[in-house]
Amino acid sequence: MKNATLVYICAPYRAPTKNEIKENIRFANVAASLIAAWNDNVIPVIPHNLFPSNIFENKKTEKWFLDATLEIMKRCDVVAIATLYNVISAGMRAEIKEAKKLKMKIINI
């Protein structure tokens, strides 16, 4: 795909239970499917699917995960905010803050 637009999916990940985390991952995938359906020249980037599911077993990896996802987001063209029940998580807030600082295009889905 030549000159494809990379769209970073900013959606909740963390949750109290493993089942709720799985639901958040499914939600991010649905959001990515909606983005991809809008335009054939769009590649959704879903950070939820890029790392092992046990990434939050200790606090060191939590910071690493956020730093890694911010680095990935910076390489994208657009940030798509997908809220579940209108909740913006702490990780999403950090991503949105960084996207605004970098003057990235932000859309709500």
Q: What is the pLDDT of residues 64-82, one digit of tens each?
A: 888 999 999 999 999 999 9
DSSP helix/strand/coil, 81: strand
Q: What is the pLDDT of residues 22-67, one digit of tens each?
A: 999 999 999 999 999 988 899 999 999 987 766 666 656 778 888 9
Half-sphere CA count of 77, side-chain side, radius 13 A? 9
For residue 54, what pLDDT is reported? 66
Question: What CATH code is carried by the domain that includes residue 40?
Answer: 3.40.50.450
Determine the residue type at 27: F
Domain count, the chain: 1
Q: Which domain holds residue 104?
A: 5-108
